[in-house]
Amino acid sequence: MSGDSWLIITDEGRIGGMLSAVRQLGGKVTAVVVGPRGLADTVAAKGPDRVLWFAVEEGFPPEAYGTQVAEAAKTAGVRVVLSSDVPSGRVLLGMVAAQTNSAVVGSIRSLAEDGDSLLVGRSVADGRAVETLEVTGSLAGIFDGKDVDLPPGQPATVEEVPVRQPDGALRVVETLPASAESAGLLSAERVVGAGSGIRAKEDLELIRQLATAVGAEIACSLPVCDDMRWFESARVVGSSHHQIAPALYIAVGISGQPQHMSGLRDAKVIVAVNNDPEARIFKHCNYGIVGDLYKVVPALAEEFRNAC
Average pLDDT, the chain: 90
Q: How far is CA 1 from the centre of its chain?
A: 29
Amino acid of residue 80? V
Q: Give the CATH number, domain containing residue 49.
A: 3.40.50.620
Kindly state whether residues 14 and 112 are assigned to the same domain. Answer: yes
Q: pLDDT-derived band of residue 187, with 50, 70 and 90 as boundaries?
A: confident
Kindly state whether residues 36 and 133 are assigned to the same domain. Answer: yes
Kindly state whether residues 148 and 188 are assigned to the same domain. Answer: no
Predicted confidence at residue 135, as pLDDT, reads 94
Which candidate, 280, 289, 273, places its Cα nearest to that of 197? 273
Kindly state whether residues 32 and 155 are assigned to the same domain. Answer: yes
Q: Residue 210 belongs to what H/E stretch?
A: helix 204-214
Q: How many domains does the chain have?
A: 2
Q: Are 252 and 293 in contact (CB under 8 A)?
A: yes
Predicted confidence at residue 153, as pLDDT, reads 75
Kindly state whether residues 126 and 248 are assigned to the same domain. Answer: no
State mean pLDDT over 47-68: 93
Kindly state whether residues 202 and 86 are assigned to the same domain. Answer: no
Q: In this structure, is residue 142 part of a structural domain?
A: yes
User: What are 156-182's pLDDT values in tens digits?
Assistant: 999 999 998 887 678 887 776 655 566
State mean pLDDT over 268-276: 96
Predicted confidence at residue 210, as pLDDT, reads 97
Q: Are 82 and 103 in contact (CB under 8 A)?
A: no
Question: CA 6, 147, 26 angle in degrees (round to 5)?
Answer: 40
Q: In this structure, is residue 169 part of a structural domain?
A: no
Kindly state whether residues 155 and 188 are assigned to the same domain. Answer: no
Q: Is the pLDDT of residue 274 over 70?
A: yes
* Domain stops at, among 93, 125, 160: 160
Kindly state whether residues 195 and 111 are assigned to the same domain. Answer: no
Q: In this structure, is residue 247 part of a structural domain?
A: yes
Predicted confidence at residue 127, as pLDDT, reads 67
Q: Give the CATH number, domain containing residue 260.
A: 3.40.50.1220
Percent of the chain with pLDDT over 90: 69
* Alpha carbons 254 and 193: distance in angstroms, whole number: 8
Q: Is the pLDDT of residue 285 over 90?
A: yes
Which candidate, 67, 41, 44, 42, places its Cα nearest to that of 163? 67
Q: Which domain holds residue 31?
A: 5-160
* Domain stops at, among 127, 160, 193: 160
* Alpha carbons 183 and 203: distance in angstroms, whole number: 25
Percent of the chain with pLDDT over 70: 95
Q: In this structure, is residue 171 part of a structural domain?
A: no
Q: In this structure, is residue 165 part of a structural domain?
A: no
Q: In this structure, is residue 34 part of a structural domain?
A: yes
Q: pLDDT-derived band of residue 71, with 50, 70 and 90 as boundaries?
A: very high
Q: How far is CA 275 from CA 57, 134, 198, 205, 280, in A?
A: 53, 41, 11, 19, 12
